[in-house]
């Protein structure tokens, strides 16, 4: 794949195993120290890493991803020492979050120090930090001796990668290397919480839920689109860092949600008939239970991607981006998506990503 800016380079694929772990991480750390870009798995999604304190290397991330300038990058850190290098005036509550959720899928936005270049923070006075719960990025940060700027390793506007092949589909020829460490455990991006305001604000929901955060630091304000609030769904003004469009597939996604699982299945059936009668090609993104509502023949005729049981949002979250990528590449007119998954645990983040991907939403 040729990079539009003409910087076609060979992207090395570094397959990591127990046996070669040290050699591979040393190799990747050297690429980073020399100012290169390396993609790698984390427990959430694959990230694209470069020295986060060097504006020239950070620019390479923006170019490779075609990321709009001004959209802030977060930094992956390995230790409390790393944090002191880049953040100041750290509130007590932020330290509590670090103690509770790090290493893990929580990005904490703090006041930044001048060591962090403007390009990294998107000209904001703040910086998002995360200590990932994954051996590869932790060792890489340690051995590269610098916090890594590491956004998700996809082209801007595409879904985050949960497999190395997704990274290559988007960024081959644009980055120096990808470490193939298999599928990511969670499959959705981290929760982002801004600790520079009071009450703290959740900018993006991930595997760490609102309730879990509130147990540790008290009241917080969710501001991501589609958050459930007392009066229904929240569609607030976008905050800094939320201005840029999230992933929406090229193919129209129609999401069906409702309290009754039976009604959701029925409605997907009705919509399927409607679209088919117009001669359209339809894709189905379904829970196993909703798939059970259709005959094997119906499922065979249409492109169908199963996300697993609606009672297990963890499994569905892991497969969601793969499902959206697969169906979006199938040349369809519409994707009918099942919103009947449990909202507990990772379900809140799963439903949030489905709502963001969808341009039409049916509530039954």
What residues line the site for ligand TXA (CB under 6 A)?
A: 42, 44-45, 47, 71-74, 105, 107, 109, 121, 124, 126-128, 130, 150-152, 189-190, 192, 194, 203-204, 240-241
Closer CB to Mg ion, 246 or 302, in the complex = 246
Give helix 347-357 / helix 313-328 axis angle, nearest 10°.
20
The least CB distance from residue 72 to ligand TXA, in Å, is 4
Decide which of Mg ion, ligand TXA, none touches 180; Cβ closer than 5 to 8 Å per partner kind: none
Q: Is 152 annotated as a binding residue?
A: yes
The least CB distance from residue 85 to Mg ion, in Å, is 24
Q: Is 154 annotated as a binding residue?
A: no
Both tokens of residue 93? Answer: 């509550």
Helices H / strands E in the chain, number of each = 13, 19
Closer CB to ligand TXA, 8 or 88, in the complex = 88
| Measured distance CA(322)–CA(318) in Å, rounded | 8
**Residue closest to ligand TXA when measured from CB atoms:** 241
Q: Is 130 annotated as a binding residue?
A: yes
102-113 burial, b if ≥16 CB within 10 A, otherwise e? bbbbbbbbbbbe
The least CB distance from residue 233 to ligand TXA, in Å, is 19
What are the residues binding Mg ion (CB under 5 A)?
152
The least CB distance from residue 191 to Mg ion, in Å, is 14
Q: Is 42 annotated as a binding residue?
A: no
Closer CB to ligand TXA, 45 or 357, in the complex = 45
Q: Is 39 annotated as a binding residue?
A: no
Residues 148, 140 contacting (CB under 8 angstroms): yes
Closer CB to ligand TXA, 74 or 340, in the complex = 74
Q: Is 67 annotated as a binding residue?
A: yes
Closer CB to ligand TXA, 127 or 175, in the complex = 127
Q: 């959701």: which residue's tokens?
A: 264
Residues 20, 84 contacting (CB under 8 angstroms): no
The least CB distance from residue 41 to Mg ion, in Å, is 15
In sequence order, the 6+-apart residues with CB closer than 8 A to the CB of 193 are: 97, 106, 107, 108, 109, 200, 201, 202, 203, 213, 220
Both tokens of residue 47? Answer: 């990230």
Decide which of Mg ion, ligand TXA, none touches 203; Cβ closer than 5 to 8 Å per partner kind: ligand TXA
319-344 burial, b if ≥16 CB within 10 A, otherwise e? bbbbbbbebbeeebebbbbbbbbbee
| Nearest CA-CA partner of 152 in 243, 267, 268, 65 | 65
Q: Is 33 annotated as a binding residue?
A: no
Q: What share of the chain is helix, strand, coil (3-state, %, to 5)?
A: 35, 20, 45
Residues 31, 19 contacting (CB under 8 angstroms): no
The least CB distance from residue 276 to ligand TXA, in Å, is 36
Closer CB to ligand TXA, 46 or 293, in the complex = 46
Give the annotated binding-site residues.
44, 67, 71, 126, 130, 150, 152, 160, 190, 204, 247
Give the annotated binding-site residues for L-threonine.
44, 130, 150, 190
Give the annotated binding-site residues for ATP.
67, 71, 126, 152, 160, 204, 247
């Amino acid at each position: 794949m040729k990079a539009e800016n003409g910087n076609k380079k060979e992207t090395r694929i570094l397959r990591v195993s127990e046996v070669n772990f040290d050699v591979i991480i040393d190799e990747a750390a050297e690429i980073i120290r020399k100012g290169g870009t390396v993609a790698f798995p984390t427990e959430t999604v694959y990230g694209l890493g470069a020295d986060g304190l060097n504006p020239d290397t950070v620019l390479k991330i923006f170019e490779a991803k075609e990321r709009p300038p001004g959209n802030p990058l977060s930094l992956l850190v390995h230790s409390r020492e790393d944090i002191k290098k880049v953040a100041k005036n750290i509130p007590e509550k932020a330290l509590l979050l670090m103690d509770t959720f790090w290493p893990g899928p929580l990005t904490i936005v703090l006041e930044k120090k001048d060591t962090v270049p403007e390009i990294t923070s998107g000209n904001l006075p703040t910086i998002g930090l995360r200590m990932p719960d994954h051996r590869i990025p932790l060792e890489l940060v340690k051995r590269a001796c610098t916090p890594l700027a590491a956004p998700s390793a996809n082209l801007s506007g595409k879904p985050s990668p949960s497999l190395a092949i997704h990274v290559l589909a988007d960024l081959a020829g644009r980055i120096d290397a990808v470490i193939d460490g298999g599928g990511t455990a969670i499959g959705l991006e981290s929760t982002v919480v801004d600790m520079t305001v009071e009450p703290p604000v959740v900018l993006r929901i991930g595997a760490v839920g609102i309730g879990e955060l509130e147990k540790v630091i008290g009241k917080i304000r969710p501001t991501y689109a589609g958050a459930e609030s007392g009066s229904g769904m929240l569609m607030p003004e976008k905050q800094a860092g939320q201005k840029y469009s999230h992933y929406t597939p090229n193919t129209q996604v129609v999401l069906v949600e409702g309290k009754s699982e039976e009604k959701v299945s029925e409605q997907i059936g009705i919509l399927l008939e409607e679209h088919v009668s117009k001669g359209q090609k339809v894709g189905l993104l379904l829970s196993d239970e909703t798939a059970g509502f259709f005959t094997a023949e119906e499922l065979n005729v249409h492109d169908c991607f199963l996300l697993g049981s609606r009672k297990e949002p963890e499994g569905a979250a892991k497969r969601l981006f793969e499902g959206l990528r697969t169906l979006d590449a199938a040349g369809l007119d519409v994707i009918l998506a099942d919103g009947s998954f449990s909202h507990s645990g990772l379900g809140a983040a799963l439903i949030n990503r489905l709502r963001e991907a969808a341009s039409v939403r049916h509530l039954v």
